[in-house]
Amino acid sequence: MGIDRRAFLKIAGLSTMLGLGGKAALDVFAPGEVEASTKGVPLTAGKRWAMGIDVRLLDDKVISEATAACHRHHNVPDLASAKEEIKWIWEEDYEHSFPGHQHEYVGDDIKHAKFLLLCNHCSNPPCCRVCPTKATWQRPDGIVMMDPHRCIGCRFCMAACPFGARSFNWGDPRRVTRIPELIAKNPGFPFNKDYPTRSKGVVEKCTFCVDLLEKGEQPLCVTAANKIKKGSFTFGDLSDAESSIRVLLRKRYSLRRKSELGTNPNVFYLI
Amino acid sequence: MLDTVLKGKQGYWGWLIFLLAIMGAGLGCYLYQFQEGLRVTGMSRDVSWGFYIAQFTYLVGVAASGVMVVLPYYLHDYKAFGRITILGEFLAIAAVTMCILFIFVDLGNPVRIMNVLMYPTPNSILFWDMIVLNGYLLLNLFIGWNVLSAERKGIHYQSWVKVLIYISIPWAFSIHTVTAFLYAGLPGRHYWLTAILAARFLASAFCSGPALLLLLCLIVRKVTKFDPGKEQIRTLGGIITYAMLLNVFFFILELFTAFYSQIPGHMHTFEFLFSGLEGHGRLAPWMWTAGGFAFVAVLLLVIPATRRKEDTLAIACAAVIISTWIDKGMGLVIGGFTPNPFERVTEYWPTTPEIIITLGVWATGFFILTVLYKMAVSVKEEVGA
């Protein structure tokens, strides 16, 4: 187990009071912990994370629980405006999830099937290619990350993403604590005091819950969905041939959104 | 040479004050935008670039077109253009300044703009755009200033300036090529993903920029004692004609590829732009207007009698400017985002603050242009007298 920021600050603060400083203090209070947490950054090195979503198991409850779990953990506000909407994971129908695939003879089960869309964490991400400040980049474990503290808000990544996975803070998201009609829609914002809210003028998106992966947990949408329908979401390591996701992809037929564009999405839809 | 800028007639000062007033209104609206964020604009999750980036794209073309007077003079020794190269270079300075300002007002986090320099990212086309635009601005400032001050002193400019001039010629092509690459390399944006985009950009730049320059020449002749010259205007007319024909030709090539191949993704944007898609057709009247003006422009330019007559040539130039401004600005940027990645249509329309900020940037550009042209014309009048 590593040492999180909160624990680090606690120890650092306490030790400063005691007149100890820097790493020496940590060696006293938590020997070996610093080495353990810095050596492993990112703590999921060597993995290639991917997600499988079983469309047959998606229903309204799974979709709403998975979405709510994500948006509450990451403090994604409801801004009550389609124009300014921020979303990390959202419901979409077949026709608009896979434009061009629809034909008039497709069965109702597929035609009316509900999909959950999110950042595909592409292996060849065009968003990272275009960013002029490296505010969005790909980690060695394949996760496409976003640093809202470096982002200049040029929105080049939004133009480059063929999946509409990126949202922009057109205004200050924290205004949901000030404007009455927005307060009513976002009671208790920020929902999660341990996760930062964003400021105006930056892009944000799904992170595959890196903070949880590092603790050895699964992304929130996966946990929430599987609580309701076991097996609706599968999350795992593509580099391990025996991982749950690899086994699933061998067994079942899967689709990826716009695979012809060569971005190599890592979210698979099992039909 | 700055002394010449401080001496002017009433009309000159009146015009500058008028521009300052618009700049002030633009600044006021910008402060409002700075406070509230880009939500005061019409842009959205789906159409995430709008009026600002449209003006930026158009003006990079105007800036690049300065090369259309520089190249014939320096590479082909076409002496007549020696009289107006300075006007082309100064127009480029004003246009590049506007480009940089339009990028700036479009940023969500303008205070972080230096991140582009602090974390240089060569794989981003925006990084290269920053380099070529600023480089082009500096080149034109150095060249324009040195050539003009040498002319005032009655001497030949120094030989190192010539090196910069030769560099500036391919550089002009590069600024618009790189700007096209901002769009042309994005997977999934069918309207932009075309190998001919940079060529289209250059063609529309080389008609719209010289068209603006020609109108400016006519204004300069009217309000000052300096005459840019009949032959110069006539040659510019020829350049505009060829470039406009190429521009229209390239557009027809796009139409052919889309509608003969019948690939839906390639047709959608054209359908949206010219007839509306899923009930959204707010741009259609604008696009047909652009088409109408392009037709009028081509007609007036191709017929020798109307091209050679200065007043009909001026009308043709205005038609070129309107047509290319709509097509390359609004049509290109909004069309590229429509339909969105889910093949849904979200309409975009600039808001009042967005339009006032835009006018403020244009006014800033014209302020710079006026001051620079005043300097150039004063020197020309002085030398001529």
Contact: B109, A156; criterion CB under 8 Å:
no
- Taking the CA of residue A81 and the nearest CA in chain B, the distance in Å comes to 10
Q: What pLDDT does residue A38 have?
A: 46
Classified as helix, coil or strand, A243 is: coil
- Asked if A100 contacts B339 with a C-beta cutoff of 8 angstroms, the reply is no
Residue A180 has which token pair?
């009455």
Chain B nearest-CA residue for A152: B109
CATH architecture, domain A49-270: 2-Layer Sandwich (3.30)
Contact: A164, B340; criterion CB under 8 Å:
yes
Q: Taking a contact as any Cβ pair under 8 Å apart, which residues of chain A between 80 and 109 contact chain B?
A: 82-85, 92, 95-97, 99-100
Contact: B49, A258; criterion CB under 8 Å:
no
Whether the CB of A129 is below 8 Å from some CB of chain B: the reply is yes
Is pLDDT of B267 > 70?
yes
List the single range of A16-20, B131-135, B185-189, B374-378 with lowest mean pLDDT.
A16-20
Is pLDDT of A2 > 70?
no
User: Tell me, what DSSP letter sits at residue A118?
Assistant: E
Strands (E), B236-323: none
What interface predicted TM-score (ipTM) does this complex get? 0.93
- Taking the CA of residue A165 and the nearest CA in chain B, the distance in Å comes to 9
Preferred mutation among B342, B345, B347 to probe A, highest tally of A CBs within 10 A: B342
- Asked if A21 contacts A14 with a C-beta cutoff of 8 angstroms, the reply is no
Higher pLDDT, A10 or B372: B372
CA distance B317 to B209: 10
Is pLDDT of A34 > 70?
no
Share of chain B above pLDDT 70, in %: 100
Whether the CB of A160 is below 8 Å from some CB of chain B: the reply is yes
Q: Tell me: the pLDDT tens digits for B205-215? A: 999 999 999 99
Question: Within chain A, which residue ranges are assigned CATH 3.30.70.20?
Answer: 49-270
Q: What pLDDT does residue A36 have?
A: 45
- Asked if B331 contacts B254 with a C-beta cutoff of 8 angstroms, the reply is no
Chain A nearest-CA residue for B106: A154
Contact: B39, A151; criterion CB under 8 Å:
no
Q: How confident is the model at residue A43 (pLDDT cuts 50, 70, 90)?
A: low
Element housing A116 (H / E): strand A114-118
What number of C-beta contacts closer than 8 Å exist between A and B?
Answer: 142
How many residues does the structure list for chain B?
Answer: 385
Q: B68: how many CB neighbours lie within 10 A of its CB?
A: 22
Contact: B108, A262; criterion CB under 8 Å:
no
Is pLDDT of A185 > 90?
yes
Residue B80 CB-density burial (10 A; 0-12 exposed, 13-18 middle, 19+ buried): middle
Element housing B319 (H / E): helix B310-325
Contact: B112, A152; criterion CB under 8 Å:
yes
Is pLDDT of A14 > 60?
no
Please provide residue A199's backbone torsions phi and psi, each rounded to the nearest 5 degrees: -110, 170
Tokens 């800036």 sit at which residue? Answer: B63
What is the pLDDT of chain A when averaged over all its residues? Answer: 88
CA distance B48 to A159: 7
Q: What pLDDT does residue B329 have?
A: 87
Q: Which amino acid is at B337?
A: F
- Asked if B201 contacts B85 with a C-beta cutoff of 8 angstroms, the reply is no
Q: What pLDDT does residue A10 have?
A: 61
CA neighbor of A175 nearest in space, from A69, A80, A67, A71: A80
Per CB-CB distance under 8 Å, the chain B contacts of A154 are 103, 106-108, 126
Is pLDDT of A21 > 50?
no
Preferred mutation among B104, B186, B347 to probe A, highest tally of A CBs within 10 A: B186
Q: What pLDDT does residue A1 have?
A: 40
- For CA atoms B278, B280, B285, B291, give the dihedral sign: negative
Tokens 């889910």 sit at which residue? Answer: B342
Contact: B39, A171; criterion CB under 8 Å:
yes
B2-384: CATH class: mainly alpha
Contact: B186, A126; criterion CB under 8 Å:
yes
What is the pLDDT of chain B when averaged over all its residues? Answer: 96
Whether the CB of B116 is below 8 Å from some CB of chain A: the reply is yes
Q: Once rounded to an integer, what is the mean pLDDT over residues A145-166?
A: 97
CA neighbor of A173 nearest in space, from A212, A204, A213, A217: A204
Q: How confident is the model at residue A100 (pLDDT cuts 50, 70, 90)?
A: confident
Preferred mutation among A138, A152, A156, A169 to probe B, highest tally of B CBs within 10 A: A152
Q: Once rounded to an integer, what is the mean pLDDT over residues B91-112?
A: 97
Is pLDDT of A94 > 90?
yes
Q: In chain A, which residue ranges form alpha helices assigned H by DSSP?
A: 5-17, 22-29, 33-39, 60-73, 94-97, 108-111, 126-130, 156-160, 180-185, 210-213, 220-228, 244-251
Q: Once rounded to an integer, what is the mean pLDDT over residues B308-319?
A: 97
Q: What pLDDT does residue A57 have?
A: 95
Per CB-CB distance under 8 Å, the chain A contacts of B30 are none
Whether the CB of B157 is below 8 Å from some CB of chain A: the reply is no
Tokens 């940027």 sit at which residue? Answer: B333
Is pLDDT of B78 > 60?
yes
- Taking the CA of residue B188 and the nearest CA in chain A, the distance in Å comes to 5
- Asked if B80 contacts B229 with a C-beta cutoff of 8 angstroms, the reply is yes
* In chain B, domain spans: 2-384
